Amino acid sequence: MVRVLFVCLGNICRSPTAEAVFRGAVAREGLQHAIEVASAGTADYHVGKPADKRARAAALARGVSLEAHRGRQVAVEDFSRFDYILAMDDENLRNLLARCPARYRDRVRLFLAFAPEAGRADVPDPYYGGPEGFEQVLDLCAAASRGLLAAIRRDHGL
C-alpha cells in the first residue's frame, strides 16, 4: 500500500479538496486497492468539523464530494505511516518539517512540485477570499493529482 497525506492549515478547504480530487483520480485508474489517501491540518482549530461550505459546494459542482470529511490535525505517527506528505503551501511545509523526525524528512514535499506546468509553488489559501479562490484550488489540485499519480505509478510499478 502506498499512503498519501495532504496537509494544509485548517484541514477544511485545501487539503480535503486535494484528498477528494486525488482519490477520484486513483479510483478512475482502478488503484483504490493500492493507494490510501487522507488529509490533515497543521492547526487544531477545525478538528472534527466538516469541510468548509464553500469548498464543498465548489467541489460538488465538479462531481467531487467532501461530505464525509471531518477535520483532523497532523500527528507525529503520520510521518512514519504516510509515504507522501504533501503540503499545500510553504508555511505548511516549514511547519511539517519542524515536526518531522529526521529520517522521514524526504517524505515531506510541496504538492505543486507535481504540477510544474502550473508555474507556482503554493495552493493559495482561499479561506478569506471569494469563490474564485475555491475554483483555483480545484484546478491546481486536478493538475497536481495527475502528476502525483503518474509519479506514484512510475516509482511503485503500479
- Closest separation in Å from C-beta 125 to ligand 4NP: 5
Cα–Cα distance, 83 to 111 (Å, whole number): 13
Q: CB neighbours of 115 closer than 8 A, spacing ≥ 6?
A: 140, 143, 144, 146, 147
Considering only residues 110 through 129, tell me which ones interact with ligand 4NP, judged by CB under 6 A.
125, 127
Among 14, 23, 69, 107, binds ligand 4NP (CB under 6 A): 14
Cβ distance to ligand 4NP smaller for residue 34 or 113: 113
| Strands lying side by side in the sheet with 2-8 | 35-41, 2-8, 84-87, 108-110
| Catalytic residue list contains 125 | yes
Residues in the interface with ligand 4NP (CB under 6 A) total 10
* Binding of ligand 4NP by 40 (CB under 6 A): no
- Closest separation in Å from C-beta 128 to ligand 4NP: 8
Contact 124, 133 (CB under 8 A): yes
Considering only residues 43 through 62, tell me which ones interact with ligand 4NP, judged by CB under 6 A.
45
Alpha-carbon Rg for the chain in angstroms? 14
Helix 131-156 to helix 14-28 angle, to the nearest 10 degrees? 50
Positions touching ligand 4NP (CB under 6 A) are 8-14, 45, 125, 127
Q: Which residues are catalytic?
A: 8, 14, 125
